[in-house]
Each structure stands twice: as C-alpha cells, then as structure tokens.
C-alpha cells in the first residue's frame, strides 16, 4: 500500500491530477497530509497531535491499523517535501461534498487543539485551507467550536 501511495504522488502525479481520477487511497493521503501539516505548524508534532491524527484518519476512513500507520507515515514524508498544499486541498474539494469539507476543517481544528495551544501559524493555515475548501469563516468558526467541545 505504501508503494502504491508513493507512486500516486511521484511519477504518476500527472495522471492522478486528471479529472475524475481519484482513488480512495488518494483521498486518505490528501486528508492525512493536511492533518500532519497542521500539526507541524508549531515546529513539532507532539505525541497528542500524532495520536489525534491517527484516530481521525482511522475513524473518518475506517482503515485498519496497518493502513492508518502507512498513510500517516507517508503523509509525514509528503508534507515534509511539499511546497504547497493546493494539490491536496483540490483533491478534497473535488471529492468531498460541502458537509464533508466542513468535517475536514473540524478535524484540522481538533489537531490544532490536541496540544492545548493554538499557535498563530496554525490558525493562519486553517484560514487558508478553509478558503481553499470553500468553507466560510462562519462554518470554520462553528467547526472550531465543535472541536473545542
């Protein structure tokens, strides 16, 4: 599975960007990269943040423990090398309906609050990602409140 995911974001990237070509694994990785990048905004992924990411990926996509670990591990590598996030937000925006995109923002807020501290860089990233996912500030704020609760 890890090799298949690496291939998707490596040599076959142009094919993966073609309209209508979105695999389930592709969505898992796109969501996981955004979660990992959110956790990395404060310069370190704490144990609480990593645990939250694993739980969110497992529960949202109903993956096995092995699949979750593979996706999160690859997401960490991809996020480390990524220059921009638009290819990941595009996949989510194209394949998730509006309610699912709001749920994605709520997941990101849960990662932000996993360490108990909201850093300016994390909040800024969430504003940018919400805009890229066409989630309004009001909807993002409501998702934030649900994440806190």
**72-103: per-residue pLDDT in tens?**
999 999 998 888 889 999 999 999 999 999 99
Average pLDDT for the chain: 86
Least confident of 7-11, 50-54, 91-95: 7-11
Asked if pLDDT for residue 3 goes beyond 80, the answer is: no
**25-46: per-residue pLDDT in tens?**
889 999 999 999 999 998 788 8
Q: Which residues of 76-87 are buried (b: 16+ CB within 10 A; e: fewer)?
A: bebbeebeebeb
Domain spans in the chain, listed from the N-terminal domain onward: 2-148
- Under CATH, what is the fold of the domain 2-148? TerB-like (1.10.3680)
Asked if pLDDT for residue 6 goes beyond 60, the answer is: no
Query: Are 45 and 69 a contacting pair, CB within 8 Å?
Result: no
């Amino acid at each position: 599975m890890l090799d298949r995911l690496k291939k998707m974001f490596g040599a076959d990237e142009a094919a993966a960007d073609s309209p209508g070509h979105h695999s389930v694994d592709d969505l898992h990785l796109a969501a996981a990269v955004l979660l990992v990048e959110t956790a990395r905004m404060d310069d370190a992924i704490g144990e609480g943040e990593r645990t939250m990411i694993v739980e969110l990926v497992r529960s949202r996509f109903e993956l096995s423990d092995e699949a979750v670990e593979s996706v999160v591990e690859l997401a960490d590598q991809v996020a480390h090398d990524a220059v921009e996030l638009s290819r990941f937000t595009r996949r989510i925006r194209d394949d998730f309906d509006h309610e699912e995109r709001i749920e994605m923002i709520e997941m990101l807020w849960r990662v932000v609050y996993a360490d108990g501290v909201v850093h300016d860089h994390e909040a800024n990233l969430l504003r940018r990602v919400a805009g890229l996912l066409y989630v309004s500030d009001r909807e993002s704020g409501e998702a934030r409140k649900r994440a806190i609760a």
